């Protein structure tokens, strides 16, 4: 459930939570206020329909275009059956159960073989068999050449392999096939960050944010870019937006607080910087997550980009270096 909420994003999770709460509270209120009313059950079924329809809309908004057909095939008949329960209250229990059952069963019946192909590619990835994982995606793209998500995922594999030019081409193809989706733009932003091309990275991250304003990833990348460029004001604005969007993983929150502390220190706001350091100390367990992650062979791009920040965060949390180390030059910081 937690993973689903993270995938759905804060905006859609909040909206769906409100609908579910309205359906539950409204249903209980109707039961208590009008226990004998003939229309009570129909009203309760209508509230349930509203919550289920909201779930369908949220899924349609979050899945890639290629996955929307499966959502329609699952929810259209299911919602129709539940709606019949409104006008046929004597059959409401059966119809609502059948409708929900169809929605669940349809996810299995209409499950695309594409998901199995991705699982095969991911297994190769976990074994560090990048050429084999890429070959699996090559075959998938050959059969489904218009799916933007296939290109985005293959681009990630190319990045891990060090094939940055090929990764860039695939991200661009992802944008071509799904210009309204943020994935390709985010990929290009991260690719240019990896290459130290921060102006281009900023441009793509901003385009990703336009397409998904509720995302934490785009403002997080903008905060990283602003940190590297020494733009304290922009770093603060972007990172506070990312934190407000609820960065899901503690290890990413840790770095956001580190960059915020540096930005405040650059602006001469030492008390605010110290406050960020105190929050960092509550996330010290994330350091172990970073160490495990960076030790893997697939983490070379992350090591080059973030290892120094993670090491500095560890020394700040332990008190091995003063807060001023955040803005010290690299060689001076190392000496401390």
**Over the stretch 241-261, which tens digit does the pLDDT of each residue have?**
999 998 989 999 999 999 999
How far is CA 191 from each of CA 171, 202, 309, rounded to the nearest angstrom? Answer: 9, 11, 19
The residues, any chain, with a CB within 8 Å of residue 185's CB and separated by 6 or more, are 175, 204, 205, 207, 208, 211, 218
| pTM value surpassing 0.75 | no
Positions in the chain whose pLDDT score sits under 70: 1-7, 9, 64-67, 107-115, 329-336
Give me the count of residues in the chain: 336
Residue partners of 59: CB distance under 8 A and separation at least 6: 71, 75
Which residue carries 């910087």 as its tokens? 273
Task: Please say whether the beta carbons of 225 and 193 come within 8 A.
Answer: yes
Which residues have CB under 8 Å from 211's CB, separation 6+? 180, 181, 182, 185
pLDDT of residue 190: 94
pLDDT, mean over the chain: 87
> pLDDT tens-digit profile of 64-75?
665 677 788 888
How far apart CA 10 and CA 55 sit, in angstroms, is: 14
Greatest alpha-carbon pair distance for the chain in Å reads 79
H helix or E strand, kind and range, residue 65:
none
* DSSP, res 37: -
Cβ 230 vs Cβ 266: under 8 Å: yes
CB 88 within 8 A of CB 98: no
d(CA 258, CA 251) in angstroms, rounded, equals: 11
Residue 323: predicted pLDDT: 93
201: left (phi over 0), alpha (psi -120 to 50) or beta: alpha
Q: Where are the alpha helices (DSSP H) in 144-197?
A: 148-161, 164-177, 183-194
| DSSP for residue 35 | T
Residue 116 contacts residue 122 (beta carbons within 8 Å): no
Q: What is the DSSP string of 245-307?
A: T---SHHHHHHHHHHHHHHHHHTT-HHHHHHHHHHHHTTTHHHHHHHHHHTSGGGHHHHHHHH
The full DSSP string for 190-210 is HHHHHTT-HHHHHHHHHHHHH
Cα separation, 287 vs 118, in Å, equals 30
Radius of gyration of the chain (CA): 24
Tokens of 71: 């959502």
Q: Rounded to whole angstroms, how far apart are CA atoms 262 and 230?
A: 9
Tokens for 173, please give them. Answer: 């193809």
User: Can you tell me the distance from the alpha carbon of 28 to that of 77, in angstroms, rounded to the nearest whole number?
Assistant: 27
Nearest to 107 by CA among 58, 131, 72, 79: 72
pLDDT tens digits along 16-30: 889 889 999 998 999
């Amino acid at each position: 459930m937690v993973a689903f909420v993270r995938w759905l994003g804060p905006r859609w999770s909040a909206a769906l939570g409100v609908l579910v709460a309205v359906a539950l509270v409204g249903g209980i209120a109707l039961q208590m206020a009008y226990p004998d009313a003939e229309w009570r059950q129909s009203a309760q079924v209508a509230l349930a329909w509203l919550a289920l329809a909201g779930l369908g809309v949220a899924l349609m908004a979050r899945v890639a275009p290629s996955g929307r057909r499966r959502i329609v095939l699952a929810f259209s008949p299911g919602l129709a059956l539940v709606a019949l329960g409104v006008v046929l209250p004597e059959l409401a229990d059966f119809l609502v159960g059948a409708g929900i059952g169809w929605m669940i069963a349809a996810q299995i019946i209409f499950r695309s073989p594409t998901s199995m192909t991705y699982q095969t590619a991911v297994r190769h990835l976990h074994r560090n068999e990048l050429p084999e994982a890429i070959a699996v995606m090559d075959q998938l793209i050959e059969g489904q050449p218009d799916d933007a998500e296939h290109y985005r995922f293959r681009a990630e594999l190319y990045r891990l392999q060090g094939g940055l030019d090929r990764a860039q081409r695939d991200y661009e193809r992802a944008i071509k096939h799904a210009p309204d989706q943020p994935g390709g733009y985010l990929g290009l932003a991260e690719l240019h960050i990896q290459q130290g091309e921060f102006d281009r990275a900023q441009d793509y991250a901003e385009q990703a944010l336009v397409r998904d304003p509720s995302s934490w990833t785009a403002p997080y990348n903008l905060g990283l870019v602003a940190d590297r460029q020494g733009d304290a004001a922009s770093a603060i604005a972007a990172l506070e937006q990312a934190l407000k969007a609820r960065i899901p993983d503690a290890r990413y929150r840790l770095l956001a607080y580190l960059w915020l502390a540096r930005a405040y220190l650059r602006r001469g706001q030492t008390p605010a910087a110290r406050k960020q350091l105190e929050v960092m100390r509550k996330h010290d367990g994330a350091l172990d997550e970073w160490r495990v992650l960076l030790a893997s062979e697939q983490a070379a791009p992350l090591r080059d980009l973030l290892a120094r920040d993670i090491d500095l965060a560890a020394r700040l949390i332990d008190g091995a270096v003063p807060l001023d180390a955040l803005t010290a030059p690299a060689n001076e910081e190392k000496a401390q």
